[in-house]
Amino acid sequence: MTIVGGGPAGLMAAEVLAGGGVQVDLYDAMPSVGRKFLLAGRGGLNLTHSEALDAFVNRYGERRASVAPMLERFGATAMRAWAQGLGIATFVGSSGRVFPVDLKAAPLLRAWLHRLRERGVRFHMRHRWVGWVASESSAEANAVVFEAPQGTCAVRADAVVLALGGASWARLGSDGAWAPSLRSRGIDVAPLRPSNCGFDASHADAQGQLQPGWSEHFRSRHAGAPLKNVALACVGPGGLRFAQAGEFVITSGGVEGSLVYSASAVLRDAIEVDGHAVAHLDLLPGRSAEWVVREVAHPRGSRSLATHLKGRLGLDGAKAALLYELLPREVIADPQRLAVAIKALPLTLLAARPIDEAISTAGGVRFDAVDANGMLQALPGVFCAGEMLDWEAPTGGYLLTACCASGVWAGEGVLRYLGRNPVAHCAAPMC
């Protein structure tokens, strides 16, 4: 049994298959497995989220119906039980996110790999998958080819799980190079697009016209500044609405950070349709519009507007600077219009940042191309798992949970394909 890809989806498929008594050989292009997993855990490994299943499933947007069966089989509760089975205790943070008690990814990965090796999983590093053996014989359907340090080699197996990731963070192995090979075999692959990504912004010049990027004045003073306690609202194609409070970061040419990532699918799709997207920022979400109007209109005497906004509304730093960066002078000078803008400041975004900068990707193998067990309908015996499938989700534990759930799904699908009972052979921590 061959698995291609050593991320969470591939490792989870290996765990299910090894628990089912199947000899597993796992191949990965990198010198070690789980590299993106380790990098994602540098700021504290967010394993999953504690919210109810219905709300959890809705995080997958248009793909929720396809992802739901995987999460019903292996969701947030199962993720925590699985981690506990590896000796990793977890806790629920104030936001509902679930973390290991020590917040680290490395101890979990070490324990996981130790258990996989104990169950007989064999790891083959620096093996880059380049496609299939060139043959018309059905017997070669599961014969895959790797470029390895010792040269090109072909591997034949009863079944293959492809868990090759998306196209973000190529330096860690996920480069999307697999897509043309699958398309050449008649597999329907949706274009890979950035998800959970930053965006390039625009600013208003002295004449009130939008110009790409930030002004030099704003960029030099505020690039890297966080905007905390704000809310963002936007509307995507088909009227899809997003509205959420949170925080984000000003970059040298735009915006990024958790709140922007959460809105990224709506913003990206709007840019693809209209050439730009408009996000409205509420700089004071804890204050009513009436209060803001009253405070802005309060006589300021000889005080400057900047001093007035800071003293009466608590607006200063990057928040106040954004008003000057994005609004025409006549709006800044009109208390009524300025108050409206403080509660709904229009930020025009021109492009998503390049896909390799994104946290994750949308697109991939369409669910119509796989059967209920995760097997490619055009290639019997070949299964897909993880981010290379056509789904996306926000950060917050949803990405990792769905990757692991899809690995369980594909692993159990292989067991059925091989004529084994996945329930009977399922690893105990996942049952």
pLDDT in tens, 247-302: 999 999 999 999 999 999 999 999 999 999 999 999 999 999 999 999 999 998 88
pLDDT above 70 covers what percent of the chain?
Answer: 96
Residue 174 above 90 pLDDT?
no
The pLDDT assigned to 63 comes to 95
Per-residue model confidence as pLDDT tens digits over 201-238:
999 887 878 889 999 999 999 999 999 999 999 999 98
Residue 424 above 50 pLDDT?
no
Residue 122 above 90 pLDDT?
yes
Q: How confident is the model at residue 427 (pLDDT cuts 50, 70, 90)?
A: very low
Q: How confident is the model at residue 431 (pLDDT cuts 50, 70, 90)?
A: very low
Domain boundary among 298, 330, 352: 352
Instruction: Give the pLDDT mean for 15-40.
Output: 94
Q: How confident is the model at residue 25 (pLDDT cuts 50, 70, 90)?
A: very high
Residue 65 above 70 pLDDT?
yes
The pLDDT assigned to 39 comes to 86
List Cα–Cα distances, 94 to 49, 82, 97, 98, 116, in angstroms: 11, 22, 7, 9, 33
In a domain, 357, yes or no: no
In a domain, 284, yes or no: yes
Domain boundary among 291, 322, 352: 352
Q: Copy the structure tokens of residue 373.
A: 């067990």
Determine the distance from the C-alpha atom of residue 294 to the mean position of all C-alpha atoms in its chain, rounded to a whole number: 41
The pLDDT assigned to 421 comes to 78
Same domain, 187 and 203: no
The pLDDT assigned to 423 comes to 61
Model-level pTM greater than 0.85?
A: yes
The pLDDT assigned to 135 comes to 61
The pLDDT assigned to 142 comes to 75
Same domain, 258 and 304: yes
Same domain, 7 and 146: yes
Number of domains in the chain: 2
Same domain, 273 and 369: no
To the nearest whole number, what is the mean pLDDT of the chain?
Answer: 92
Q: Please state, in angstroms and rounded to a whole number, the distance separating the CA atoms of residues 117 and 83.
A: 17
What CATH number should be reported for the domain holding residue 134?
Answer: 3.50.50.60
* Domain assignment of residue 252, given as a range: 199-352
Same domain, 105 and 27: yes
User: How does 263-274 read in b/e, with b if 16+ C-beta sit within 10 Å?
Assistant: bbbbbbbbbeee
Count CA atoms closer than 13 A to 22's CA, side-chain side: 31
Same domain, 284 and 147: no
Phi and psi for 214 in degrees, rounded to 5? Answer: -90, 160
Domain boundary among 307, 327, 352: 352
